[in-house]
Amino acid sequence: MNVGFNNSVSEDRIVAIVSAEASPIRRLKEEALRAGRLVDGTNGRKTRSVIVTDSNHVVLSSLEPETLSGRIRSADTGGDVEAGR
């Protein structure tokens, strides 16, 4: 799945896609950075989504969580998902 700026994450490895604003998510990012498990896919833009993988890697994206979730749903249904559903 494209997470922005030609950066990709394997959909099969994604555990969660969450908003980057919550305090627990900020702590998760800090822990991942210290442990060497943080991947920044924002290309210098504001972080809007945090993707957690099954390997405990944390991927930052500048796309909204709804956009990323829609891409997963679209891929699961063959691209027939309308925006907002």
pLDDT tens digits, one per residue of 14-67? 999 999 999 999 999 999 999 999 999 999 999 999 999 999 999 999 999 999
Taking alpha carbons only, the member of 55, 76, 61 closest to residue 17 is 61
Taking alpha carbons only, the member of 54, 56, 48, 45 closest to residue 10 is 54
* Cα–Cα separations (whole angstroms), residue 85 to 2, 42, 61, 67, 82: 19, 25, 21, 11, 6
Question: What pTM did the predictor assign?
Answer: 0.86
pLDDT at 85 over 50: no
Tokens standing for 24?
A: 């627990």
Q: What is the pLDDT of residue 32?
A: 98
Q: What is the pLDDT of residue 76?
A: 80
Measured distance CA(78)–CA(45) in Å, rounded: 30
